[in-house]
Amino acid sequence: MVLDNEVYGDEEWSFGYCEYGSGIFSCPPTKNPMYTYRESIVLGETTFTNYMVNEIMWELQREWTGISYDLLSRNCNHFCDAFCEGLGVPKLPAWVNRFANAGDAALVAAENTAVRLQQAKTEIVSATKVAYRFLASVASNSPGSSPGSNGNSSSSFSRFRASWFKDLVPAGAIRSPSSTHLIESSNSDNKSPLSLPKRMECTRSNPSSV
């Protein structure tokens, strides 16, 4: 739907997109090539003279640039409302501007969702940095790490990270290939079960023989 404002019966004013200059343009009444004329809605009479109407339009032309056009939040419907407000007459009926209002609501909801997602991303990054610093401090303060040995501190921190990650995984979820190999090779080399040494019996010395 394309809306135009007609004042004094000689020109129709509307708003659209263009790369340079103002997006406001005029044409003969009901002759806008961008739409098929349907009907006219009387919004009232303005008390401004033709000269004053031109002054209002001059101000609007500077504000409503063509590059600022937006299909949902700044279209010809919004321009008509602004023009009517400047003329001191009632705005467009709600049913005429319903699509533009729905577009505004959808745009606001989308912007709010984007803001929330950005905030959540920032919080996750901050929490990750805090957790990393905590792990680094725990590893550096762990027993066996000397202040002057950076290599030992780095290797101990790596071992700590590996053990910390291993604790997060449920038991049995990770199998150690080296341990499994050792157990299997041990069983293959020794077919018979291991024999434990028998307990040696100790005899107490007879005190009378001393």
C-alpha 17/C-alpha 35 separation (Å) is: 15
What's the token pair of residue 101?
């209002």
**23-71, pLDDT tens digit by residue?**
999 888 888 888 888 888 888 888 898 889 889 999 999 999 999 998 8
186 SS3 class: helix
**163-177, pLDDT tens digit by residue?**
555 555 555 554 544
C-alpha 181/C-alpha 187 separation (Å) is: 10
Q: Which comes out higher in pLDDT, residue 122 or 138?
A: 122
DSSP per-residue string spanning 96-148: TTHHHHHHHHHHHHHHHHHHHHHHHHHHHHHHHHHHHHHHHHHHHTSTT--TT
Question: Nearest 5 degrees, angle CA 1-CA 78-CA 92?
Answer: 75
Residue whose structure tokens are 């929490």:
127
Q: Provide the residue ranges of all domains of the chain, joining segments of one domain with +.
A: 5-96, 106-141
C-alpha 87/C-alpha 45 separation (Å) is: 9
Number of C-alpha atoms within 13 angstroms, CB side, residue 171? 0
Q: Among 32, 27, 45, which residue's Cα sits nearest to residue 84?
A: 45
**62-73, pLDDT tens digit by residue?**
999 999 998 888
The highest-level CATH class for domain 5-96 is: alpha beta
Q: What percent of the chain has pLDDT over 90?
A: 17
The answer to whether the predicted template modeling score (pTM) of the entire model surpasses 0.85 is no
What's the token pair of residue 103?
């577009």
